[in-house]
Amino acid sequence: MKQKNVLFMTQAAMIAAIYVILTFLANALGLASGAVQIRFSEALTVLPFFTPAAIPGLFIGCVLSNTLTGCVPLDIVFGSLATLLGALGTYCVRKYKWLAAVPPVLANTLIVPFVLKYAYGIEPLWFSFGTVFLGEFISCGILGMILLFSLQKNAKKIFPQA
């Protein structure tokens, strides 16, 4: 039992760390915040397909990323909750590989535009829905699915279950 807990925490911590690094990379390129966002780190939201440890890892990584990149508290809370809901959704649909990216795209598309409006004053709301959807589609739907298919062959080695 102890080995399983250590493995779970290690996987979650590694995923959180990779999320932060990828967000910093996107931030350096001006893609991590604002009306148009393409966070490379959001591709990781397909990882609950492989391991439940990805759920807290993604949430913690998003909280840390949003905090360290200077997001306002409303964004730290609700942006991170959107990632958490997306990760939980991916875990729930893990039997259907092709649906792995749908929950994070939907969660972020439905929540983040309101964050952009009320936390940052970005208008119009309909424009934010479009840009967030597009960014999430690129991050999760394209990059995330490429990641999922790339990892699938060696998933048992990369994500061992203790």
- pLDDT one-digit tens code per residue, 15-42: 999 999 999 999 899 887 767 788 899 9
Q: Which pLDDT score, from 0 to 100, does residue 2 have?
A: 80
Task: Tell whether the torsion through CA atoms of 136, 139, 140 and 145 is positive or negative.
Answer: positive
| Cα–Cα distance, 109 to 103 (Å, whole number) | 10
pLDDT band at 1 (very low <50, low <70, confident <90, very high): low
Q: Residues 110-142, buried b or exposed e (16+ Cβ, 10 A)?
A: ebbbbbbeebbebeeeeebbebbbbbbbbbbbe
Please determine, for residue 162, whether its predicted confidence score (pLDDT) is greater than 60.
Answer: no
Q: Which of 34, 64, 14, 21 is nearest to 131 (CA)?
A: 34
Please determine, for residue 46, whether its predicted confidence score (pLDDT) is greater than 90.
Answer: yes
pLDDT per position as a tens digit, 75-123:
999 999 999 999 999 999 999 999 999 999 999 999 999 999 999 999 8
Lowest mean pLDDT of 17-26, 34-43, 123-132, 147-156, name the range.
Answer: 34-43
| Cα–Cα distance, 109 to 112 (Å, whole number) | 6
Considering the entire predicted model, what is its pTM?
0.93
